């Protein structure tokens, strides 16, 4: 079964450029989370959606960051303009029934490794 799918896996971009990270959640999962991981700050929750609606974006660091979920099978995280301090691993995670269907759990994508130079 397909897990959470993120793209790109790796991106190197120049400061000032727009970056778009993409996520395809597990089918049937109603909640989607974007996390950022850095050495200094660990895993930070940026934003989460429930049934495609943004619920809490208090973790989004600045107006340069925006996220959308136009439908149940797709979400984007955009940084415009990008800065070197945005370099991090960005994870998408979704919540829904586990593989046995017995309880809700949260699964992560493989992450998008962003380097802004």
How far apart CA 108 and CA 26 sit, in angstroms, is 10
**Is 74 among the residues that bind another protein (CB under 8 A)?**
no
Residue closer to another protein by CB (options 53, 70) is: 53
SS3 39: coil
Which residue in 88, 107, 117 sits closest to 10, CA to CA? 88
Q: Rounded to an integer, what is the distance from CA 70 to the centroid of its chain?
A: 14
Contact of 54 with 69, CB cutoff 8 Å: yes
* Residue 108 makes contact with another protein by CB under 8 A: yes
DSSP state of 97: E
Report if residue 105 touches another protein, rule: CB under 8 A. Answer: yes
Q: How far is the CB of 42 from another protein (least distance, A)?
A: 5
80 vs 90: CA distance, rounded Å: 15
96 is a site residue for another protein (CB under 8 A): no
Asked whether position 12 contacts another protein by CB under 8 A, the answer is no
Q: Which is nearer to another protein, 16 or 56 (CB)?
A: 56
Site for another protein in 34-63 (CB under 8 A): 42-43, 45, 48, 50, 55-56
Q: Return residues touching another protein (CB under 8 A).
A: 31, 33, 42-43, 45, 48, 50, 55-56, 89, 91, 93, 95, 98, 103-111, 113
């Amino acid at each position: 079964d397909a897990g959470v799918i993120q793209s790109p896996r790796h991106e190197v971009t120049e400061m000032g450029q727009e970056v778009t990270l993409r996520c395809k959640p597990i089918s049937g999962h109603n909640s989607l989370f974007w996390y950022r991981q850095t050495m200094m700050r660990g895993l930070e929750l940026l934003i989460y959606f429930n049934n495609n609606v943004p619920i809490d974006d208090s973790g989004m660091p600045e107006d340069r960051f925006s996220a959308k979920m136009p439908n149940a099978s797709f979400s984007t995280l955009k940084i415009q303009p990008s800065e070197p301090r945005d370099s991090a691993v960005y994870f998408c995670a979704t919540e829904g029934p586990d593989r046995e269907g017995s309880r809700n759990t949260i699964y992560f994508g493989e992450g998008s490794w962003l380097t802004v130079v």
